[in-house]
Structure 1
């Protein structure tokens, strides 16, 4: 484009924003990771920017042009970020396959996004790639091509289209369309969180989801990222004690595993400055425990694939021992508008429950190739999240539950999370999951699967009585099952679908 005719009001694309952030601190470390040879390695900001530009050019050498589609199957490694940004820079349609997904889900996503190329981490996922009908190139092959490629003025460029696939555990995956507008809004919003100075953030969760979208705002704040292939408590503690990690992102099940680990009592975690948690409801009693163990370093965020990561935030300064505060997801982020509506589309008053709906540049464009589902999700000019929430007089928002998880028992609407929070106040309970099961008398019977703390005991009748005393008879579970663990999805969320199948 001629600079004489450029629009002076054009906003930078997502890739341009990231490249500008990387060029500000050329010698700063962007990624630390363990290479395939077992040696620890690091990429500077400058090296990361070069990798992005060279990868975009290399994708062109592979015959891809703006409007084509690529998919990536990889664990947490620098290429999981640089390939995504390179695809955005080159105007490609990009989708990431979940490392813990299934072959059937892979095929569904590859078919839906019409992928022209699948890039695969050949050190871990070669067997899954063999089942793909799409053309496959390994990251090792791509790396050699990138090393032999130099970006040029005629390299293809275009607008970004990130397809963020969701819903694979409950039905056919849906490709959430996030364009430059949404991705840039996400980066700027998340950069306003309480990132500590000189953040070195450990990523152990798949970069195909929330963790991958933490990198851009971190780069805007000058952060570095330590990458582990998966979550392991011993490696997590080692990273803090030996490798200077100061922050991490944890889903609730990971936080609980850390709190329950026998090594925690003797660990030196004085370098830990920030724990960002989210992706699923977190037990307030465990947050009280975490705050006492780690100090004032907890920060919660709430979002969903359709408006990722940055709808609300509960900053470290707002965390306290108040269950009402810890049970909330914080306050509305700048740049978005949130309202709660009843089933008839009327705004509810403070203290009442309603569906949480959102407006703002962060919101998706829609679902790829699914116009009817797009129309339903964006009806009335609002993103309908499917979450039931409550707003108090101070502006705190509490997610009560998913609309689809609401239990109708004896004619009453029961929100499982309220029962779970009550169960977890019992001193013997480590974790719980509550869901409805068909029942000829009640319509749905409140059913709870409970994991007890090591060395503690409690009977199902005792746990039922505990909920009855706290909440009343309507909320008391009709069935309580004791188990050693709760099944989780690939995203680390409790898998209630599997629990229902096991009941």
Structure 2
């Protein structure tokens, strides 16, 4: 880890200026073979920051981005930081209605838009109106050769702006990022993240004297593959941690296993962050050989533990260190890590999430908030300096999640005698498919709007390929009939495709507790005993 990089910076604005001064010619970003140096990234993001200010965007303003990952996305992230604004990345897999909610809820004043998602944006903007949204900046344009250029529109927008440094007056505790994630209500909430989030872990590791090889680390000489979407904390957080270290980043607009394998070999990638299913997909590629991955020093993975079979294949083929991450959008940064030393075939800790990283603390509590002893299952709580500022405009939800500095993670688990965390179930019922969070209440709400459906419950069931698969249990109205494919077609356009259940089960009733809450564990048991109807 580059110690100096982190000691001298407290904000992304400062980190950008430092990188441009210390390593101007080093490549910051590689995307589809286009290279951007740290000097150019700093200069162009300065111009974009001035253009934001000219458009009336100031400190605390929300700026949305709807587009795939590219050098243009990360430029706008830094431009917002330099203008004192907050970037709101929008999941490009969402429907128009879902995008409209985020634009409205965030009070976004400006939208950066990739032409690929113009129709989705048109649907979002066609409603009753978004009073706060004043400006739409299209990223695309025509290059000098007359062909489509994904960055030409953005460059034209800030072309006349000065390239001088900006001083938005922000500090480490000021917000810079707002990521939308759902809760048990099914309504997406904006998680507000501050500048400090991307500096606390390296600072804590340095202060503790911890060996970076034992944890997750980013180095100035790293070549990092960004394979997870930038609209989630995993993708944008991985980039920003590496950016603050001065590393080079190879950006994938969308994850394709064959392309990931090619990029690792072509660019000498040294570090990356993936979901276990992405490891499996790379290993299944024809060109996946130890020689292909010779440059790798460490792979971080998250969203699910690694199976022993996948571990054996990974150690044999990737030939590098493996580290598991446990975190959440609300935690901001890596909270818990299972270090490379625990990744041994037959190792007793392979089913553990790990131990808290330097600077973090962990405890497990009962329903009354009392700390439980080792071995007893309760709610997992993390204390980390990287935690969110709060939920945007939702003080009550923030107060429920952050209690006396402790973040309630929404997961059930227990600690062993040595302080390793073992997860048992998700208290908030989140389903994770290939690293993507899906919230049952959101899907159930849409299912219940079908005229044949009287009641609905959505659960995740184990899936060898994706980690989990989405299944739905429905109770039909008296005399109603509906085919699974009809339900699937009904949900298309209402939900992003990855949220739509792949199996539908018809039940006479749903198991509920006395207060009316669906007993999801009982639903899973019922589904396991019933015959699944394929969509």
TM-score, with length taken from structure 1 = 0.75
Aligned counterpart for 2:78 among listed residues 81, 85, 91: 85
- Return the offset for 1:254: 1.6
* Partner SS for 1:70: strand
List runs of 5+ in structure 2 lacking aligned partners.
Answer: 1-6, 140-151, 207-211, 432-458, 474-506, 513-518
Tell me, in whole angstroms, the C-alpha distance in 1 between the residues paired with 2:526 and 2:357. Answer: 33
Equivalences for 1:410-489 in 2 at 5 Å? 420=462, 477-479=528-530
Tell me, in whole angstroms, the C-alpha distance in 2 between the residues paired with 1:21 and 1:475. Answer: 56
Q: Does 1:292 align with 2:282?
A: no
Tell me, in whole angstroms, the C-alpha distance in 2 between the residues paired with 1:430 and 1:72. Answer: 28
Contact 1:390/1:399, CA 8 A, preserved across alignment: yes
> Which deviates the most, 320-329 or 281-290?
281-290
Deviations along 1:197-216, one digit per CA (max 9) or x if unpaired, are: 73211113211221111123
Tell me, in whole angstroms, the C-alpha distance in 1 between the residues paired with 2:470 and 2:91. Answer: 26
* Partner SS for 1:405: coil
Contact 2:193/2:332, CA 8 A, preserved across alignment: no
Deviations along 1:304-341, one digit per CA (max 9) or x if unpaired, are: 11112310112223311235422222210112221110
Q: Structure 1's 441 and 62: CA in aligned 2 closer, same or farther, altered over 3 A?
A: closer
Aligned counterpart for 1:127 among listed residues 119, 122, 125: 119
Q: Does 1:277 align with 2:292?
A: no
- Return the offset for 1:478: 3.4
What residue is the counterpart of 1:487 in the other structure? Answer: none
Q: Does 1:171 align with 2:186?
A: yes
What residue is the counterpart of 1:319 in the other structure? Answer: 343
Q: Structure 1's 337 and 141: CA in aligned 2 closer, same or farther, altered over 3 A?
A: same
Q: Does 1:206 align with 2:218?
A: no
Contact 1:447/1:479, CA 8 A, preserved across alignment: no
Q: Does 1:181 align with 2:196?
A: yes
* Partner SS for 2:352: coil
- Please report the RMSD computed on the Cα atoms of aligned residues, expressed in angstroms: 3.6
Q: Structure 1's 110 and 187: CA in aligned 2 closer, same or farther, altered over 3 A?
A: farther
What residue is the counterpart of 1:148 in the other structure? Answer: 160
Q: Structure 1's 403 and 154: CA in aligned 2 closer, same or farther, altered over 3 A?
A: closer
What residue is the counterpart of 1:222 in the other structure? Answer: 246
- Return the offset for 1:174: 0.5
Q: Does 1:371 align with 2:383?
A: no
What residue is the counterpart of 1:48 in the other structure? Answer: 41
List runs of 5+ in structure 1 lacking aligned partners.
Answer: 1-8, 35-39, 408-415, 450-473, 484-501
Matched positions, count: 431
Deviations along 1:400-441, one digit per CA (max 9) or x if unpaired, are: 22113399xxxxxxxx99x95xx97xxxx9956598967879
Q: Structure 1's 441 and 170: CA in aligned 2 closer, same or farther, altered over 3 A?
A: closer
TM-score, with length taken from structure 2 = 0.71
- Return the offset for 1:445: 8.2
Deviations along 1:272-326, one digit per CA (max 9) or x if unpaired, are: 2222211344444423332233224212211111112310112223311235422
- Return the offset for 1:95: 0.8
* Partner SS for 2:199: helix
Tell me, in whole angstroms, the C-alpha distance in 2 between the residues paired with 1:344 and 1:150. Answer: 56
- Return the offset for 1:121: 2.1
Equivalences for 1:332-411 in 2 at 5 Å? 332-405=356-429
Contact 2:218/2:241, CA 8 A, preserved across alignment: no
Contact 1:296/1:319, CA 8 A, preserved across alignment: no
> Which deviates the most, 318-327 or 359-368?
318-327
Contact 2:27/2:248, CA 8 A, preserved across alignment: yes
Contact 1:251/1:279, CA 8 A, preserved across alignment: yes
